[in-house]
Amino acid sequence: MRFQIDNEYDKLEAVLVHRPGMEIERLTHENMKQFLFEDVPYLRRMQDEHDLFTGKMTEHGIEVFYLEKMLEDVLRDEVSRKQLIDEVCRTANVPAISQELANLSHWDEAKLVEILFGGLTAAEYQGATGQRVASGSGDEEHFLLPPIPNSYFSRDPAVVIRGAAISSKMHYAERVRETLLTRAVLENHPEFSENAIAYGGTDEPTEDRPYTIEGGDVIILSPEAVLIGASERTRSETIELLAGNCFKIGQVKRVYEIPIPTERAFMHLDTVFTVLDRGVVLWYAPVMEPIKYIHRYEPTGDDNPTAKRCQESRSFVDVLRDEFDTEVTIVATGGGTRPFDTREQRTDGTNTVAIAPRTVITYNRNEHTNEALDAHNITNIGIDGSELVRGLGGPRCMTMPLRRSR
* Mean pLDDT in order along the chain per 10 residues (406 residues): 96 98 96 93 97 98 98 97 96 94 94 97 93 70 93 96 93 94 96 92 67 95 96 93 90 95 90 98 97 94 87 96 97 96 96 98 98 98 95 96 94
- Crossing angle of helices 109-118/67-75, nearest 10°? 120
- According to the model, what pLDDT value does residue 203 have? 75
Judging by beta carbons within 10 Å of its beta carbon (0-12, 13-18, 19+), is residue 255 exposed, middle or buried?
A: buried
Give start and end residues of each alpha helix (H) in 249-304: 285-288
* Cβ(262)–Cβ(277) below 8 Å: no
Q: CA-to-CA distance for 238 and 94, rounded, in angstroms?
A: 28
- According to the model, what pLDDT value does residue 406 have? 75
Q: 397 an active-site residue?
A: yes
Q: Which of 210, 217, 116 is nearest to 166 (CA)?
A: 217
- According to the model, what pLDDT value does residue 303 have? 78
Q: Which residues contact 397 (CB under 8 A, 6 or more apart)?
A: 153, 155, 156, 216, 268, 270, 348, 351
Q: Which of 142, 180, 148 is nearest to 37 (CA)?
A: 148
* Cβ(179)–Cβ(134) below 8 Å: no
- According to the model, what pLDDT value does residue 132 have? 87
- According to the model, what pLDDT value does residue 152 have? 98
pTM of the predicted model as reported, rounded to 2 decimal places: 0.95
List of domains in the chain: 12-68+150-222+260-291+315-404 (3.75.10.10), 93-145 (no CATH)
